[in-house]
Structure 1
Amino acid sequence: MQFIDQAEIGIQAGDGGDGLVAFRREKYVPAGGPAGGNGGRGGSVYLMAVENLQTLLDFRYARQFKAKNGQRGGPSNRTGASGEDLYIEVPCGTAVYDVATDELLGDLIEPQQSLCVAKGGKGGLGNAHFLSNRNRAPERALPGLPGEVRDIRLELKLLAEVGIIGLPNAGKSTLISALSAARPKIADYPFTTLIPNLGVVRKPTGDGTVFADIPGLIEGAHEGLGLGHDFLRHIERTRLLLHLVDVTAADPLAHYETIQQELHAYGRGLPERPQILALNKTDALLDEEVDAIAAQLQSASQQPVHKISAVAGVGLEALMHQVWSTLEQQPADEPVEPGIE
């Protein structure tokens, strides 16, 4: 499956129908008067969040959307039919921006949540509207107003409570596969993961929590280097960051600091997000070496460091206990709102 998380589309609401100039022509009604009806309203364009979509792939092939126009007014003061509204389905977690102004128009998070992105034009007035004591036979009607036209940008931001971050080859995919039923591609070279992976991890209470493996974070990711610029947005909605550091790296402390610098450079509330720090692949080194590296990280981060091995399942129980405890301290009814620049 291709993972497309950005798309630009053009939308156009329907035009309002024209008003009609008409007069009553009935037997035994010598002065029937004006009877032209108003035009119908043009259809509006809405975006609607649905659960059965996971990417914006559909918008790679369909980029222009137009709602129906309103119908012209009819005789006998009949109003023209309104144009049918157009509903465009998008995945839950889609943020909508105006391309021209970069204004955030709305954020579609809940299923069936909708957002009007273009209003239909009003119908024109028929000549019956202009009847007055001074003008008993008006021959004037107004055209319908055009519907709104705009280009919008869709950005999909995954809805996950816990985001797993770290430099390439830190073991993020291995960890999410060990904790959940997700089966991402795993190999012994960097950038194995090219798209975010989601996994549902079962809590002790039986509820499920969504974890996201965020790929491609390297130094300079916030400036567009690597894949991180494309996927940093996916951790904006997370309530908790799980930072993995490869204990077998040449300089694990530098790896930790690189990710922290990228989070601060990207901003949007990520530096303030709660973090849990874990040293991964500890089964590959002696305990003394692992302890020394953990002490360095703890001194730099001023927080406890979990020593784990995702592939061997070592230390995962204590790590998950800390994850659940941290999530409980941040109630779900007070979600972290992504920052907007």
Structure 2
Amino acid sequence: MQFIDQAEIEVEAGKGGDGIVAFRREKYVPAGGPSGGNGGKGGSIYFRADENLQTLLDFRYNHKFKAENGGRGGPNNRTGANGKDLMIEVPCGTVVYDAQTGDLLGDLVEPGQTLLIAAGGKGGLGNQHFLSNRNRAPEYALPGLPGEVKQLRLELKLLAEVGIIGLPNAGKSTLISALSAARPKIADYPFTTLVPNLGVVRKPTGDGTVFADIPGLIEGASQGTGLGHDFLRHIERTRVLLHLIDATSDDVIRDYNTIQQELQAYGRGLAERSQVLALNKIDAVDRESVDLEVLATQLNHLSHAPVFLISGVTGAGLEPMLQEIWRILDQLNQLVEVENLG
């Protein structure tokens, strides 16, 4: 399935039906008054979050959506039929912007959550509404009002509690495949991962936590270099960042600083997010020439974050690292509960 996380579309709600001019014409009612019915309301357009959708692919080839128009009013004061509303399914995590003004219209996070995007036009009034002492036979009615038309920009931000970040070939895909049932493409060259991958990692309690493997970042990613900010947005919702660093790199500290600088440049609070650092691929390190404990201590002093020595291939060190992630998440949950009580 092709992963599409941005789309621009046009939506047009239905036009209200026209009111009509009509008069009662019955054999024993010689002075029948106006009886023109009102037009029906135009159909509105809604978005609904669907947990079974993972991409905005449906909007790549279908850019325009229109709801049904309201029906014309009828004689004998009959109101026209309302136009049918249009419900458009989108993935959970879809953010909706007005493409012309840039205004945020809504953020669909919970399954089944709905958002009114474009309201249908009101139906026009029939001539029955204009009867008065001065005008006993009004011969005019109102047309229906047009429905709202909007240009929208859709962005999909993955719903994950833990985001795995790092330079290309840091071993992110290998790690998420070791921790979960996710099976991303893995190869020995940079940018193997071209789309974010989600994996559910089970806690000891049995609850599942979603981890997101974000495609490798490089220097300048916050300005769009490489895969750039197209994928940085996917860690905006995460609560903890798992920063994976290749322990076989010739300069581990440089690699760490590169990612931190990109998080800082991108903004949106990513640099202040809780982090756990992991020196990966320790199974491939020559222990005689590289002192991993010293590297871990240096990283801890730089980041003030916990540092773990792990191997996504052998599974070494994964359990202590996960325990720390669970601890941080539990702590964040407790803070939220306290804030809600306050």
TM-score scaled by structure 1?
0.96
RMSD: 1.3
The residue matched to 1:330 in structure 2 has which SS? Answer: helix
**Whole-Å Cα distance in 1 between the matches of residues 24 and 334 of structure 2?**
64
Matched to 2:275, the amino acid is Q
1:132-211 alignment runs, 5 A limit? 132-211=132-211
**Equivalent residue, structure 2, for 1:338:** none
CA contact (8 A) 1:215 1:228 kept: no
Counterpart for residue 333 of structure 2: 331
CA distance in 1 between counterparts of 2:273 and 2:297 reads 23
The match for 1:311 among 293, 310, 313 is 313
Stretches (4+) displaced over 6 A:
none
- Map Cα deviations across residues 210-264 of structure 1 (whole Å, 9 max, x no partner): 1110003111111111113111111111111100111111211111111111111
The one-letter amino acid paired with 1:301 is S
Residue identity in the other structure for 1:155: E
| CA displacement, residues 157-190 of structure 1 (integer Å, 9 cap, x when unaligned) | 1111110000111110111011111111111211
In the alignment, the residues of structure 1 paired with residue 236 and residue 10 of structure 2 have an alpha-carbon distance, to the nearest angstrom, of: 26
Distance 2:121 2:323 in 1: 56
SS at match of 1:323: helix
The separation in 1 between residues aligned to 2:140 and 2:196, in whole angstroms, is: 60
Tell me, in whole angstroms, the C-alpha distance in 2 between the residues paired with 1:268 and 1:122. 40
Q: Is contact 2:165–2:243 with CA below 8 Å preserved after alignment?
A: yes
Taking a change above 3 Å as real, the CA distance of residues 283 and 50 of structure 1, as seen in their structure-2 partners, is: same
TM-superposed CA distance for 1:270, in Å, is 1.1
Aligned position for 1:294: 296
* Kept in 2: contact 1:18–1:38 (CA 8 A): yes
C-alpha distance after superposition, 1:124-183 (max 9, x if no partner)? 010000000110000110000000001101111111111000011111011101111111
Give ranges in structure 1 of 5+ residues lacking alignment: 336-341
Correspondence 1:268-287 to 2 at 5 A: 268-285=268-285, 286=287
For residue 332 of structure 1, report the CA deviation from its aligned partner: 8.1
Report whether the alignment pairs 1:213 with 2:216: no
Q: Is the 8 Å Cα contact of residues 165 and 216 (structure 2) preserved in structure 1?
A: no
Alpha-carbon contact 2:45-2:67 (below 8 Å) kept: yes
Q: Are 1:89 and 2:92 counterparts?
A: no
Give the TM-score normalised by structure 2: 0.96
Q: Which amino acid aligns with 1:275?
A: Q
CA distance in 2 between counterparts of 1:113 and 1:333 reads 26
Could you say what secondary structure the match of 2:272 adopts?
coil
User: What is the CA deviation profile of residues 40-96 of structure 1, one whole-angstrom value per residue up to 9, with x for unaligned ones?
Assistant: 000000011111111011111111100000011110111110100000110111000
Cα contact 1:161–1:237 (8 A) shared by 2: yes
Shift of 1:304: 2.5
Q: Secondary structure at the match of 1:198?
A: strand
SS in 1 for 2:90: strand
CA distance in structure 1 between the partners assigned to 2:22 and 2:301 by the alignment: 85
Name the % identity: 73
